[in-house]
Amino acid sequence: MTSLGNLFSPLVRLVDSDHFPQGADAVRDLPERFEWKRAVPFAFLHLGCLGVIWTGWSWTAVAVAVALYVVRMFAVTAIYHRYFCHRAYQTSRATQFLFALFGLTAMQRGPLWWAAVHRHHHAHSDDEHDIHSPGVKGFLWAHIGWLTSSKNFPTDYRRVKDLAKFPELVFLNRFDVIGPALLLVLLYALGASLEAFAPGLGTSGMQLVVWGFFISTTVLFHATCFVNSLAHCFGNKRFDNDDDSRNSFLLAIITLGEGWHNNHHQYQASARQGFYWWEIDVSYYIIRLMGLLGIVWNIKSVPVAVYDKAARRDTAPAK
């Protein structure tokens, strides 16, 4: 057994996001810079989209890509963000684990890393310590550049002590490759099965991999990254926060409600980011539905004081 463990230990270390021979703190002390080795996964993801040249397309493949975009956007916005980062509602430990596993398929790393980074962002929004502020470090760095720096790679478990007490979440966070690998296998198996038993759909295993994984995930990645970049540059400010957060209807549509970013920075704990009925927030609607079904509970709402603050601003005389 020992020799077998030694045989697989290099592979385990390779896919372990917490494996830092020099120590996580030493990595966090590195200078922030672009690194090719950290850019490889993103290059792989984007280059994989070119596979469409060989696999072609079908309505089935497009439908799978769109469906996976929507459900995984919900996983990022309603689960990674509103649940793991801000604890905007509660659920059972078993459902929490399934939520985390579901979130891994978005290929945006583990839930504890995601939450730690985002909590740091709120603590330092658009100041010199914010690792993805377009106003401080430029649009491209805020959008994707910061993800290519080893400095930002280790999970700061000090910021997620409430989550790190669950060993199953720490495991998924360490081995976040499980999610993308599982999605790849399922997509290929589904496509191959459809090719064999429903050839009229015109799809195949590799076609679903290209559309359902590479194309869908690439679009998902950039749409969510726009919250870090575009949502701090373009849009309107309902609240005069000490940051550059903006509200954007267009961004809210493509991110299922995350575009109401200025609202969110005003009151982070709410499960609702579209504070008014006309501010479309699909993720919130689904969270409410899950509440009715008993899957989640104690869904946090927007305090009256926050609405009063918005009303005072709307009625204040122009300067």
What is the DSSP secondary structure assignment for residue 271, as one 8-state letter?
S
Enter the pTM of the model.
Answer: 0.94
Question: What's the token pair of residue 127?
Answer: 């100041």
What is the spatial distance between Cα 135 and Cα 132, in angstroms, rounded to a whole number? 9
What is the spatial distance between Cα 193 and Cα 184, in angstroms, rounded to a whole number? 14
For residue 296, what is the enclosing H or E element?
A: strand 296-297
Per-residue confidence in pLDDT tens, the chain, 319 aa? 455 455 556 667 778 899 888 999 999 999 999 999 889 999 999 999 999 999 999 999 999 999 999 999 999 999 999 999 999 999 999 999 999 999 999 999 999 999 999 999 999 999 998 999 999 889 999 999 999 999 999 999 999 999 999 999 999 999 999 999 999 999 999 999 999 999 999 999 999 999 999 999 999 999 999 999 999 999 999 998 889 999 999 999 999 999 999 999 999 999 999 999 999 999 999 999 999 999 999 999 999 999 998 887 765 444 4
For residue 190, what is the enclosing H or E element?
A: helix 178-197
Question: What's the token pair of residue 163?
Answer: 């989550």
Q: How many CB atoms lie within 10 A of CB 253?
A: 12
For the chain, helix (H) and strand (E) counts, in that order, are 18, 2
Question: What's the token pair of residue 74?
Answer: 């919900």
| The pLDDT value given to residue 4 | 47
| The pLDDT value given to residue 157 | 96
User: What stretches of the chain show up as alpha helix (H) in DSSP?
Assistant: 2-15, 24-28, 36-48, 52-55, 59-74, 93-104, 111-123, 134-137, 139-143, 161-164, 167-174, 178-197, 205-208, 216-228, 249-254, 261-266, 282-292, 304-315
pLDDT tens-digit series, residues 111-142: 999 999 999 999 999 999 899 999 988 999 99
User: What stretches of 49-138 show up as alpha helix (H) in DSSP?
Assistant: 52-55, 59-74, 93-104, 111-123, 134-137
What is the spatial distance between Cα 284 and Cα 33, in angstroms, rounded to a whole number? 36
Question: What's the token pair of residue 268?
Answer: 């982070």
* Residues constituting the chain: 319
